[in-house]
Structure formats: structure tokens, C-alpha cells
Amino acid sequence: MSGSDLLDRRLVVVTGKGGVGKSTVAAALATLAARRGKRVLVAEVDARERVAPMLGGRPSGPVVRQVLPHVSTVNVDPRHALEEYALMVVKVRAIYQAVFENRVVRFFLRAVPSLAETLMLGKILHEARSESGGKPRWDLVIVDAPATGHAVQLLGVPKALLDTVPAGPLRRDAQWMQALLTDPARTSVVLVSLPEEMPVSETVELDAQVRDILGLPRGPVFVNAMPDARFTPEEQERLRGLTGSEPPVGPAARAAVLQAGRQERAAEQVARLREALGRPLVTLPLLATERWGRRAVERIADAMEGRV
């Protein structure tokens, strides 16, 4: 899949094990799409916002806010998603406040299985298909999804509703949501991993769940924080011979040997992931930076250019 193919989808869902850099990949994809003139919305899911600050803006909260030219962000939470959905149904805010702001009603709503996930996913997918003046409001919606198990639960809500809910408004919503999620022309789920044993194992398991349980279209897998291959085998051997030397040569040689070993182990995990998935992998560089902000995201976007 080329970069233009992925970025031409209406919806790209980014997920993976916690701590692998999902938000970084989401921010970099948004940056890359914006470079091509696309109107992008990045939706985080009931999270401590990372994408907007990473791009140099302030957290958006539940209201869509532009953080860069062509790039807006929003943090979707259950309470505000319920308000938006209820207002679409009842139309009149006074009725919404009288019913849905009632403490007793809210108590029973909290007991409805998967209601929060349904509302949040519905809000995001509504943005992905919304139009203004006969044209899509957004060229691309990127979802910085929850980690692994929570992502599977979120993305599996429409299918679960279709299996259990009788005919009515909720089932109709589940039908269009599932149709959007499973359409490979409009949607792609991309996974993020680190070149380490546990994240790779979890990525392989998550990929199988996305394929076999959710039945969703899958895009490339991003391998984040890949160390550089700086030394040839011959150079590594020479460095090992220098590790016992006096400072500064000895300490520098030991650091170089450690770096080379880390890169070799990372390369082994990438090879393992490639063999297990049989799908395109995009390796992203390990950046040595004191502050992770817009400049670092731009560098990751540069690394993605022409590779996904």
C-alpha cells in the first residue's frame, strides 16, 4: 500500500500495545496528509490528550479545534458523545436536559452494556461520513485508538449490536457503522509496534483479532523507534577490541557495542514480525530528542514519506 492509498481512506484507525507510540504515528500521519492539502481530524478516545500538544497546540477537549492548517483534533468522551447523539435524536435541548441530565436516567444509562463505546465510536464515525455543502467535512479522520484489548472492544461494538439488538434506531446506527468500518475503500486499521519481543508478540495477536474477530481491513504495520544500523560486522569486531581501552576510547567503544547489539536484536524482531504477518512493515527511526514536539513529529512524517 502506498502512502497515497492509505491517506486516501476516509478513516484510519491507529492502535497497538500501550507505550509503542500510537499517538506519534497518528500525529505524523496527520502531518503527512496535511502536507498534501487534506483536511484532517485526529480523534483521541477519552484519553489524556497527546496529539494536539505534540503538534504545538493546546488540548481540544470534546470540541473540534484546529491546531494546524488543515489539521484539527478532538477528544471524544462518553458524556459529550451522549449529549450530541441525544440532541440529534430529540432535536430540542430542553428535552435533552430534562431527560438525559436526570440523575436517575444517567444511573440506568451507565448500566447499559457498551453504551459508552457505542457513543464514542458513533461520534467518530459520524465525523468520518459528515458532509458540508455536499462535500466531505474531512478528507481523512485518524483515530488514535485505545490500546489493544480496549481497541478491539471499541471496534467490535457495531458487530455485537447487530448480533443482539432488534430492529430500531440503534440497530440502524450499528448497520451503517459496521458498513463503514468494514469497507476497505474507506477504512484501514494500522498497528504500531516496537522492535521488541513483547510488543511484537502482542502485535501478532492483535492483527489476528482485527482479521478474524472484527473482520476489518488492515493497513501497514508501523515499527516505531528502530535503532540505526551504524556499524558493519567488521567495525563491530574492531570496537570490541577497544572496549578495555582508557577513556575516552574504551567507554565510547562499549557504548557503540551496546548500540550495535540493540540494533541487531531489533532487526531480529522486525524479521519475526514480517514473517508472522506477511504484510508491509514501515520502520520509523529512534530519535534522540529532549523534547517530543512538532519538530520530532515532522521527522517521523519525513520517514513515512513514500514508504506506507
pLDDT digits (tens, 9 = 90+) for 46-86: 888 999 999 999 999 999 999 999 999 999 987 777 666 65
Give me the torsion for CA of 141, 126, 210, 197, rounded to 10°. Answer: 40
Count of the separate structural domains present in the chain = 1
Residue with cell 494500522: 190
- In the structure, what pLDDT confidence band is assigned to residue 93 with cuts at 50, 70 and 90? very low
Residue with cell 506477511: 278
99 lies in some domain: yes
Query: Contact 264/233 with Cβ under 8 angstroms?
Result: no
Stated as kind and residue range, the H or E segment containing 205 is: helix 197-208
248 lies in some domain: no
Residue among 79, 64, 34 at smallest CA distance from 127: 64
- Name the range with the highest mean pLDDT among 47-51, 243-247, 269-273: 269-273
Pairing outcome for strands 187-193 and 218-226: parallel
The strand ranges marked E within 22-139 are 40-45, 65-68, 71-76, 131-132, 135-136
pLDDT at 265: 96
215 lies in some domain: yes
Query: Contact 33/139 with Cβ under 8 angstroms?
Result: yes
Q: How far apart are CA 190 and CA 13, in angstroms?
A: 6
Write the CATH number for 72: 3.40.50.300
Over range 16-42, report the average pLDDT.
Answer: 96
pLDDT at 169: 76
pLDDT at 184: 95
Instruction: Return the SS3 of 231.
Output: coil
- State the residue range of the domain holding 31: 3-227+280-304
265 lies in some domain: no
Q: What whole-number percentage of the chain has pLDDT above 90?
A: 70
Least confident piece of the model among 11-15, 69-73, 126-130: 126-130
- In the structure, what pLDDT confidence band is assigned to residue 99 with cuts at 50, 70 and 90? very low
Tell me what the pLDDT averaged over the chain comes to. Answer: 87
Over range 115-129, report the average pLDDT.
Answer: 86
pLDDT at 82: 65
End-to-end CA distance of the chain: 6
Q: How far apart are CA 22 and CA 306, in angstroms?
A: 20
158 lies in some domain: yes
The strand ranges marked E within 140-207 are 140-144, 187-193
233 lies in some domain: no
- In the structure, what pLDDT confidence band is assigned to residue 89 with cuts at 50, 70 and 90? very low
Query: Contact 28/295 with Cβ under 8 angstroms?
Result: no
Q: How far apart are CA 37 and CA 62, in angstroms?
A: 25
Q: How far apart are CA 283 and CA 270, in angstroms?
A: 9
241 lies in some domain: no
- In the structure, what pLDDT confidence band is assigned to residue 2 with cuts at 50, 70 and 90? very low
pLDDT at 116: 75
pLDDT at 115: 66
Chain length of the chain: 308
| pLDDT > 80? residue 112 | no
CB atoms within 10 A of CB 30: 31
| pLDDT > 80? residue 4 | no
232 lies in some domain: no
Q: How far apart are CA 308 and CA 303, in angstroms?
A: 10
Residue with cell 480523534: 43
Running DSSP on this structure, what letter comes out for residue 221? E
pLDDT at 173: 85
Q: How far apart are CA 11 and CA 185, in angstroms?
A: 10
Q: Which residue has the higher pLDDT, 39 or 306?
A: 39
Instruction: Return the SS3 of 152.
Output: helix
Stated as kind and residue range, the H or E segment containing 12 is: strand 11-16
pTM over 0.85: yes
